[in-house]
Structures are given as structure tokens and as C-alpha cells.
Structure 1
Amino acid sequence: MDIFSFISLFGGLALFLYGMSLMSQGLEKLAGGKLEGILKKMTSNPVKSLFLGIGITAVIQSSSAVTVMLVGLVNSGIMQLSGTVGVIMGSNIGTTVTAWILSLVGIESNNVWIKLLKPESFSPILALIGIILMMSSKTSKKKDIGSIMIGFAILMYGMDFMSDSVSPLADMPEFTSMLTAFTNPLLGILTGLVLTAVIQSSSASVGILQALTLTGGISYGMAIPIIMGQNIGTCVTALISSIGVNKNAKRVAVIHIAFNLLGTAVCLLLYFVLHFLVDLSFIEQAISPVGVAVVHSIFNITTTVLLLPFSKQLVKLAEGTIKTEPEKEIAFLDERLLKTPSIALQECNHITTDMAYVSKQSMMDAMDLLFSYNEKKAAGVKDLEGEVDIYEDRLGSYLVKLSGYDLSDTDSKQISKLLHTIGDFERISDHAVNVMQAAKEIEEKKAPLSPEGLAEIKVATAAIREIMEIAIKAFDENNLELAYRVEPLEQVVDGIIEGIKLNHINRLQAGKCTIQQGFVLSDILTNYERVSDHCSNIAVAMIELSKSAFDTHEYLDKLKTMDDPEFRKMFTEYKKKYAI
């Protein structure tokens, strides 16, 4: 074995890791936000969480990525600590899928159908189909499928490179003598741990072990402890990801480490006891890639079966290890979620919806103050506006970072929608503060609006309440039918405000209102009009982006001509409902 064998080995490892990364990204993009939705629904009990962990890890082909994602979700306050236990256990089982795929490398047969199962036979076909899909497809879904196929082909070629590079070791007596050191189980565990910790991928380290088994020099007795160590080594990624997060998120890493350490300790004890009581003659036999996959699966399934009933105890252990209670604050997204962009985007959408409802509440409370002033509620409006400002600042920064990642067309449009709308939600809360200050001025100066003016403001307030309800519900539910109802009502609100202003001038001339009352009324109406405009912006962003376009002026110009009979019908209904 010469220097070129080592170059091939490391080159094969590089191809393997790149192929796995490419395949994982493609699978994750193809699954999109479905992963996040399933994650929230199925973490209600450990058994559901277990199958969820198996499924997600089988899809994105990385238990480390799943654990990092869990740390991010818990750190953001999106997920409870107890819901992560089953997912972590399931991810260990899910990662064995990779080992089974890689075991195809060791297939030996002259049968044409069996030979087709060998990676060197079908990988070129997959690569060809994949590149055709990537270069000729117009839809992101087909391109993602192509990316998955190419990633898988590269992964298998990397495995083949590694296998070929280590094949000369079979004839080297030095290699055989070196392997005798691995008959010590503790040294084998340490080797698996260090190898996995260095390359931060248990799938890759298992792949290297499977490549080495093709030399015929690795026995079951050597491989079993190494596989155990590999499961501990994969915890390093979770440990690194827990740096700088809140206490609850650190507990996720503690659960992951505790599960793998306890599982290894129990399985190692069972291994020794069985070896002592029963003659395990097979442990001296050479292990194959399939044998590695079998041992890997048995180990992870056994540890899960043994420890799943003690899920609550694992949570208590984590809470006992990290004792300080996490600080309560507004939940915000963790940058670790950027490793799975579609999930990060779905959480951005949820948090933007939370922002929308906080913004709406601030305006609702501010309008209440016009009719019944309360100092405590006025202070609350100011607090809500501050909260919305934080939402805008952090969400905006996060979305800009997220937009730099490789996203599907659907996800890119979703980011555009969020970036267009968070500013509107923030401005609504600003107008709420302005309305609150107008109410405060009325209270402090003892200058209430005239009965006629107050009655008209009540009509305008009712219209503003409805337009906010429609716009925010449409955004929350992504309901385009509701979004189409916003603009007719916005046009009616504009008419109401113009009507109130004209009526006020008439009352002023008749001596029924004062100029001071006029200033306050004008402030209220200006802010109402702006809120109505922002609701229109939100609805238009939804409608235009659903058409893969964003030309607000063209869309509004078409509506204002009243050529659309449906628009005209809704406009007439709202005009009748909110007549002054």
C-alpha cells in the first residue's frame, strides 16, 4: 500500500461525505416544511417520537443533523425537552439505513440481477438520470430529485474508492498484526468514538469500517466494540451545537450523550455476559459489510428497546445535570435551524404569524382606548409595540441569512412574502401607539369628540377591526379567498375617512366642533387609513406571490377600475355595512 492508496482513501472519503451532504440537502428540500409539521404533531409521546426520529433520519440521512435541529427547536422555545427523547432514540435507528445501503458494495454474484444491485452497476444510471433532471427540468421538485440521485451516486462511488484503496491491506502482515490490538473491546470503542468525532458522521465512519471489512481482516469481535464507539462519537456534533444555547437546549445534548453512553454500557455488559455464558464462535469470523449493517441495527434497536421505558428518567437526568431553569423570553429562531432551511422557514412563518397577532392586539387595544381610556392598557399598547419591534429586527436579520441558502422555488417565494409583510405588521403597531396617544390627549385635555364625530369614529373603528381580522387570518391560514376580500374593504375605509373629514369641516363651520378636536380626529383618521393600507399590502403580497409575481401597482390599478364583478360586489356589501 503506497501514498496513492492513501490519496484514494481520503479522496473516496471526501466524495462519500459530499455525496451524503448533497443527497441530504435534496431530500430535505423535497420534503420541505412537511418535516416541521410532522415534528410538532408526533412528539406527544415517546413511541410516536421514536418512529418520527426513525422516519426523519431515514429521509435526511443524518442523525447528527436531526439532533442539531432538536437543539435549535428547543432553544427557540418551539419544542419541549420531553418531546426530543424519542426522536433522539429513533434517529439512532434511522441512521442504520445508510449502513444497509452501503452494504450493497460487498455483493458478489454472477447473476445479472444480483450484479445490478452492486453500486458500480446502478450508480452510473442514477447519475445520468439525475443530471438529466437537473439540467432539463423547470420545476424545483424534479431538480431536487436529480440532486438526490447524483448525491447517492457520488456517495457510492466514494465508498467504492475507499474499498479499492484499502484492498491491498489484505495482503499486508503488518495490517493483520495491527488489528490484533482491536481485540480489546475498550480500545475498539475508543477507536470508533475518535474516528466518528473527527469526521462528525457516524454514517461515514460506519462506511469506512465496511470498506475495511472487504479486506477480510476484521472479525465480529473487533467490529462490535468499534460500532458501539461510533454511536458515542456521533454525540460530539450535538455537544458542539449546544454551545451558546439556553439551559433547556443544553439538556438535549445531555440526553443524547446519556442515551448513547448508557446504551453502550448496557450492550457491552450483555456482550461480555453472553460471551462468558455461551460460546460465541462467530466473533472470530470475518465480518462483511452486511454483517456491519446487521450489528449496527441490532445495537441501536436493543439500546432503544432497553431505554425507551426510561424516557422520563433521562429527562430528569438532563435536568439534574443542567439545573438552572431557562429564562423566559419571546421565542426566537436559532441559527442551528439553518442547517435544515425548510424547517427554519416554517418556523419563521409561525413566528411571523405570532408577530401579526401581537401587532393586531396592539391596534385593537389602542382603539378601545378611544372609547374608554385606561392608563394600564395604554402602557400595554406601548409594550406590545416594543415586542413587535424586536420581532421585526430579529426576523428580518434571520430571513436575510436564510435567503442565502439553497432553497426550493416555493421556499424562496415564502421568504419574499415574509420579508414584504413583517414591515407592515411592525408599522401597524406603530400606528397603534399613535392612536393610543390621541386617546391620551383626549383624556388629558378633557376634549372628547362631538357625539356625531364619535359615532362616525365607531363605524371607522369597526371597519378597521374587520380589515385587520381578515388580513391576519388570511396570512395565518394562507387563505387567498380571504386575501381577495381585503382590497374592497380598504377602498371602503378610504371612502369612510374622506366622508368623516368632510362631515367634520361642516360641523366646524356650524360651530359644533372645535379646531382642537379636529386635530385629534385627523390624527386618528390618518392612522386608521395607514393601518388599512398595510392590511392591503399584506393581502397583495400573498396574492401576487401566489402568481409568482410581485407587481403591487399593476394589481391595484386593475381593481380600482371596478372591472372585476366580484370586487364590485364585495365593495358594495362593505359600503352598505359601514355607511356613515
Structure 2
Amino acid sequence: MCIKKTIFYTGALFLSLPTSLYAAEGQTIEWLTLLMGLFGGLALFLGGLEQLSDGLKQAAGDALKTMLSKLTSNRFMGAVTGSVVTGILNSSSVTTVLVVGFVTAGVMTLQQSVGVIMGANIGSTVTAQLLAFNIAQYALLPIAVGFFMLFASKKDIIRNYGKMLMGLGLVFYGMGIMGDAMYPLRGYQPFLDILQRMENPLLGILAGAMFTGLVQSSAATVGIAIAMAGGGLLSLPAGIGLALGANIGTCVTALMAAMGKPPEAVRAAVVHVAFNVIGVLVWLPFISSLASIAVAISPPSPELEGVARIAAEVPRQIANANTLFNVINTIVFLPFTALFALVAERIVKERPAAPAVIEPLYLDSALLEVPTMALDGVRRELTRAAELLREMIQSFQGAMVTGDLVALRRLVNEDDKIDILEQASIEYLGKIRGNALSEQESDEHQRLMACAVNLETMADVIEKDLVGLAERSRRVVYQRSETSKQMLQEIFGYVSQAIDFLIPTIRDKDVESAEAILDLESRITRVGKAFLVRKSERLGNVPEAVTIARLEVSAVDKMERMYSLCKHIARTHLSEAE
């Protein structure tokens, strides 16, 4: 909400800014007004991009997750996926950060990530193509319409589209403000001299890379270049230099995301840097050819002359050159994805693994950019916890049969593992809650939080209660009947089955598994009652028999509690299906 308020307040400030404050060509430049317009317009531009990206991510979160989950090792499909996802997310940096997270989590191999990273550069040009349409004068309309959709509707889908529309309007309005602010510079010779030096491709690339690394948005750099070109301030070669530099500067975000991550994630970031830097270096001698192709495929304005013609033609030419650069690079380098992966593996060596009880695999901060994917990461982590719980109950049953007290005490370590995953999942869910969630995502958030707590409670029942009861029963010298043993084993078996069904219920949201858990209730209740009746009828005055009866009835109670927790998780997932 803070970002949203900042956008509104900043927008309100510049909506009320009179255009007469800007000096006409040849007059003295009011630097304070110019800087306010330039940086204020940039703030609106970046805020609008974030608003647009948030709306897109919330509207298409499930689609993104489906696309990435079905990603194959086919490099061409990877490139297409990277292009589409980046076009939706509105940022190649965000896509690369997500890829780093997927590689870290083991969801995606390094070679798969190479194709996605290459395709992401194509998707990033969609924003530039949109910006090349000179519709700043109409920007207030989508802002107004998007505002009322966002705040008047209670439906998530309409609010998301409203957020997208308002963000798009703010992007164009911010560009318009920046263009108006820079208009007086058309007659300021020192600034024109700087732009003249920008004709040198190396200076343009350096400036574009530095600015993009600073604001962490290649769209902002290309947007400013298009805004300057639209004011007649920037030539095509200088604009191409800035766009190429933006492709290098956007690597900063990926490198920052990979810091402190496993080698696989660092390698994905290295691939991103290598692809973009090599691509720029290859094109460096051919910038004039790229400019010629961009001019040939862009619509001309022969009816105009001088600065007016530059302002009409160059913005689209810059956008087209940026798209051409990234499309051709991807086509040329795509057959060499395996080579890129191999070089990255040679550069980034494996690090010796640090000793740890257990660490989360799927709770990567990069996934927080898309709440749907972040929630899916929590679900995968809780599936691991459920698998550990199944191992605990199986180990407990085996130790009870063999009387292995060492194996029983070893279950404490297994409980610690589940505690770690549960705590990490809850903390990660807290970070997810920092985003704006749809109603569906909020429901999923609540289900996963309850699931995490229930799994940890079941592990505690085994470690704190059942293990303690087993150890105490081993110290009592008393020959239990085979019937009682069989009834206890039967209840253990049913609870173990419930935990078996719990894994596909959590992992796949499998309705049949959830229903199978509920179907076990009548059997567990029947055996539990029968066991209690048997103990009641056979309870005598022998102290050892009384002690064993008390311990066994308590064990049945604990197992019924575990089943009750399984049942709660199953019911929450069935309510989602309904």
C-alpha cells in the first residue's frame, strides 16, 4: 500500500503541475523545475511499471506457474516460455531472478534455464514497443479508468485489470512529463554536446548499463531513450547504444539475486551475464547496420522535416532495433545452450556442502515476485515435511516391534527436521503476506499455514508423547496379550495410511486421497472403542497391568489425535476443491 500511495501522491503533484513552468526553447532553463519534472516523471514511470507488473502477475499467476511447471528440456520451448513470461511480468530481470530461484530449488536444470534466459530478452522488448506509441496525451484516460476499476470493484479479476490499466497510464504519463521536462534542453548547447558524444557506441552502452544497473530496470532506460528521441534530443545510433547498454545493466539484478545461493543459481546468473555481454560485443561493429535495418522496417514520416521528423520516427526505430537485437541474438545463440551451461559450470565450481540438519529447498526469495509461485514453493516444502513424518511413524512402528530404544530416541532428530521446515515455511508465508494477494491466494495462504502447524504438531506427538509412552512401557515387566498388540498395530496401521494419503493430498491437492483419509475415520473409531472396552473389562488389581493399560489407552488417544490433524488438512483441501 505504501508504494501505491506514493504513486498516487506523486501523480497528484505532477497532475497539478502547469506546463507553463517549462522554459521555451532559447529561454533561461529553470533547473529546479527541470529536475523535478525529470525525476518526478521517472518516479511515475517506475511506479507505473511496478503497478502494471503487479496486476499482470496477479492476473496470470496460475498461468505462469503452469507454463513453468510444464517446461521441458527443449531449448526452443524454453525460449518461447521465457519470452511469454517476461512479456507478462514486464521485466527480464524478474524472470531471470525467478529462474535463479527455480534452479536453486531444483525445479529447473541449468541447461533449461539458458533457453529461458535467452527468451526473456525478447519478452523485455514488449515494453519498449508499447512505449514507442506516442500516447502520453491520452495517458490520463487509462489512469482514471484503472483507478475506478481498482477501487470500485470487489472482484479480484477486475481489480487486477484496473491495476494493469492504471499502471500503463502512469508509465505513459511519466514519459510525457520527462519529455516535457527535457524540452528546454533542445537549446542548451552543453547538453547537446553530451548527446553528440553519445554517438560513440561505447559511451552510449556504458551510460545505458550504469543507469539500468542503478534503477534495475532496462525498460526505464529504453523508456527514457524513447522519450528523449520523441523530443528530438536523441539520434538513432545513440538510442541503440543506450538500449544495448540496458541489456548489460539488467544483469546486475540477476547477480544480486544469486549472491549467497548454491552454485547452480550462480551459474544461471553467469549465463545471463555472458549471453548479454557477448551479444552486445558481437553487435558492436554492426550498430550502423542494425540502425539501417531498423530504419527500413519502421514507418517513415516524409511529410515532416528536421527535429519534428526525428521526434516522429526515431522512437519506433529504437524500439525495433532493440527487438531485432534480442531476437537475432536468441536465434544465433540458442543452439549453444549446452555450451553456455558447460562454461558456467567451469567458471563456478561446486562448493563443499556445509553441515546442516536440513534446509528448505523451495522457499526462495526470488519466487516472492509472483505470490502464486511462492505459495507453490511452500506446498512443495510441506510435502517434504509430510514425507519426513511418514518416515517417523514407520520408524516408530519398527522400533516398537523390535524394542529398539536407540531408534526411538533417534526420532528426536527427525522431529527437529520437521520443526525447521515448519518454521521456515511460516516465516516465508509471512513474507508472501507482504504482497497484495487475491482472494484465492489468501485462501491458499491460510490452508498452507494451517497445514504447516498441523504437520509440526503431529511430529511433536510422535517425538514427545508416543516415544515417551513407549520408553515407559518398556520399563514395565508385564506380558501383554496378542489381541491387544494386534489392535494397537491395527490403529497404528490406519494412522500410517492416513499419513500416506496426506502426501498426495498436500503435493497434488488430490481429492481422492483427501477423501480416503476421511474414510478411515469409522475404522479408527471402531477399533479405538473396542480397545477401550477390552481394557476396561480386563482391568484388575495387578499394578503392572494397570500401568500398561493406562499407557496403551494414552497411546491410542495420541494416535487418534494425529488422525484428527490429518483429517483437518484433508478437509481444508476438500473445501478448496468444492
- TM-score interval w.r.t. the shorter chain? 0.7 to 0.9
How far off is 1:438 after superposition? 5.0
Q: Is the 8 A contact 1:367 1:435 kept in 2?
A: no
Out of 25, 31, 48, the position equivalent to 1:19 is 48
AA of the residue aligned to 2:369: K
The corresponding residue for 1:54 is 83
Distance 1:416 1:444, change over 3 A: same
Q: Secondary structure at the match of 1:73?
A: helix
CA offsets 1:367-391 (integer angstroms, 9 cap, x no match): 2433355678646644432221111
Give me the CA root mean square deviation. Answer: 3.1
Out of 65, 73, 83, the position equivalent to 2:102 is 73
- Unaligned stretches of 5+ residues in structure 2: 1-28, 297-305
- Counterparts of 1:449 and 1:62, CA distance in 2: 68
The corresponding residue for 1:127 is 143
CA offsets 1:421-463 (integer angstroms, 9 cap, x no match): 2111112222333445555666676756311111212322232
Which deviates more, 371-380 or 70-79? 371-380
The corresponding residue for 1:157 is 173
- Counterparts of 2:335 and 2:403, CA distance in 1: 56
How far off is 1:53 after superposition? 0.7
- Map 1:431-442 onto structure 2 (within 5 A): 431-433=461-463, 434-436=465-467, 438=469
The corresponding residue for 1:148 is 164
Distance 1:280 1:432, change over 3 A: closer
AA of the residue aligned to 1:66: T
The corresponding residue for 2:545 is 514
Distance 1:45 1:481, change over 3 A: closer
CA offsets 1:227-260 (integer angstroms, 9 cap, x no match): 2111101111112222222222222221111111
The corresponding residue for 1:333 is 363
How far off is 1:271 after superposition? 4.1
Distance 1:281 1:537, change over 3 A: closer
Give TM-score scaled by structure 1 length. 0.83
2:530 equivalent to 1:499: yes
Out of 321, 325, 332, the position equivalent to 2:347 is 321
Q: Secondary structure at the match of 2:108?
A: coil
- Counterparts of 2:294 and 2:226, CA distance in 1: 22
Q: Secondary structure at the match of 1:371?
A: helix
Q: Is the 8 A contact 2:146 2:162 kept in 1?
A: yes
The corresponding residue for 1:229 is 245
- Map 1:87-486 onto structure 2 (within 5 A): 87-105=116-134, 118-121=135-138, 123-271=139-287, 286=310, 288-325=314-351, 327=353, 330=359, 331-373=361-403, 378=408, 381-433=411-463, 434-436=465-467, 438=469, 449-480=480-511, 483=514, 486=517
- Unaligned stretches of 5+ residues in structure 1: 106-117, 548-580
How far off is 1:524 after superposition? 2.6
How far off is 1:63 after superposition? 0.8
2:30 equivalent to 1:2: yes
The corresponding residue for 1:541 is 572
Out of 529, 533, 555, the position equivalent to 1:524 is 555
- Counterparts of 2:529 and 2:414, CA distance in 1: 30
Q: Secondary structure at the match of 2:198?
A: helix
Distance 1:47 1:186, change over 3 A: same
AA of the residue aligned to 1:348: V
CA offsets 1:389-432 (integer angstroms, 9 cap, x no match): 11111111111222222111111111111111211111222233
CA offsets 1:519-565 (integer angstroms, 9 cap, x no match): 44234313211211211222343355678xxxxxxxxxxxxxxxxxx
The corresponding residue for 1:489 is 520
Distance 1:524 1:449, change over 3 A: farther
Distance 1:367 1:264, change over 3 A: same
CA offsets 1:325-363 (integer angstroms, 9 cap, x no match): 473854141223223222211111121122122212321
How far off is 1:159 after superposition? 1.2
How far off is 1:488 after superposition? 5.8
Q: Secondary structure at the match of 2:480?
A: coil
AA of the residue aligned to 1:474: T
- Counterparts of 2:164 and 2:113, CA distance in 1: 27
Q: State the aligned residue count.
A: 531
- Counterparts of 1:497 and 1:365, CA distance in 2: 22
Give TM-score scaled by structure 2 length. 0.84
Q: Is the 8 A contact 1:360 1:428 kept in 2?
A: no
Q: Is the 8 A contact 1:264 1:303 kept in 2?
A: no
Which deviates more, 295-304 or 214-223? 214-223
AA of the residue aligned to 1:2: E
Distance 1:335 1:311, change over 3 A: same
- Counterparts of 2:56 and 2:200, CA distance in 1: 39
Q: Secondary structure at the match of 2:349?
A: coil
Which deviates more, 53-62 or 211-220? 211-220
Q: Is the 8 A contact 1:54 1:90 kept in 2?
A: yes
How far off is 1:56 after superposition? 0.6
The corresponding residue for 2:7 is none
The corresponding residue for 2:21 is none
Equivalent pairs: percent with the same residue?
Answer: 29
- Counterparts of 1:509 and 1:442, CA distance in 2: 18
Which deviates more, 18-27 or 219-228? 219-228
- Counterparts of 1:448 and 1:160, CA distance in 2: 88
Q: Is the 8 A contact 1:370 1:436 kept in 2?
A: no
How far off is 1:68 after superposition? 1.7
